[in-house]
Structure 1
C-alpha cells in the first residue's frame, strides 16, 4: 500500500506558500530517506542470504555427523560377533595344539634347523682368497 503523494504536492490554487527551492530540498530529503531505507532493506536481504547459507552448511554438517553416527553404531554392533569369532578361533587353536602335542609325545621342544654348510665353506674360502691378495 502506497501513501498518496497528492498531499505532498503544492497547491497552485491556494497560492502555494512553499517556494520551489524549499520543495526541491524537501523532495531531496525524502529521496535520501527512501534511499537509506532501500539500502537498509538490501543489506538485510544480503545478511539473510548469508545467514541462510550458514544454516544450510550447518544442516549439511549435521547430516554428515548423523550418517557417521549411524555407521559408528553399525560397527559397534559387530564387536560382540567379532569377539565370538575370535573366541571360536582361539578355542580351535588350543584344541589343535593339544592334538599336536599328544601325537608328538616326547618330541616336544625339538626343532630341526637346516644349516647350509656348503655355502658357508664357499663363502669363507672366497673371503680368505681376498684377504691374501
Structure 2
C-alpha cells in the first residue's frame, strides 16, 4: 500500500484558515462601517432633537405673544367706548356752559420719577 502525503492535507487546512481569516477581516470591516453609520445617525438624531426643541420653544414664545396681542386687541373696543363717552360728556358740558374747553375737569396723569426717589433714599440711608 502506498501511503498518501500529509503535506497536501496541511496545505489545504492552512489555505482554509487563511480564507476564513480573510472572510473574518472583511466581515469586521463591514461591521466597523455599519457601526460608524449608526454612530453618525445617532449624532444627527441628537442634533435634530435639539433643533426641534428650539423650534418648540420659539413656537411657545409666539403663542404667548399671540395671546397677549389678543388681550390687547380685546381692549380696543372698550377704549373707543370710553373715548366716545368722554367726547359726548365734553360736548354736553360745552353746550351746558359757555365756558371754554380749557376748564375741563378730569383726572390728571402725573409722572413720578421712582428711580430718582429710590436713589435719593439710598443716599440718605
TM-score normalised according to structure 2 size: 0.61
- 2:51 — aligned with what? 54
The counterpart of 1:68, out of the listed 65, 85, 89, is 65
Query: Which 5+ residue runs of structure 1 have no aligned equivalent?
Result: 1-14, 105-133
Query: Which 5+ residue runs of structure 2 have no aligned equivalent?
Result: 1-11, 101-125
Superposed, 1:92-103 pairs within 5 Å as 92-101=89-98
| Counterpart Cα distance in 2 of 1:46 and 1:18 | 42
By how many angstroms is 1:74 displaced? 0.7
TM-score normalised according to structure 1 size: 0.58
The counterpart of 2:41, out of the listed 44, 48, 56, is 44
By how many angstroms is 1:18 displaced? 3.6
Q: Are residue 35 (structure 1) and residue 48 (structure 2) matched?
A: no
Which shifted more, 33-42 or 91-100? 91-100
Equivalent pairs, count? 89
Determine which structure has more spread, i.e. the larger CA radius of gyration: 1
By how many angstroms is 1:47 displaced? 1.2
By how many angstroms is 1:17 displaced? 6.2
By how many angstroms is 1:76 displaced? 1.3
- 2:20 — aligned with what? 23
By how many angstroms is 1:41 displaced? 0.4
- 1:84 — aligned with what? 81
| Counterpart Cα distance in 2 of 1:64 and 1:86 | 33
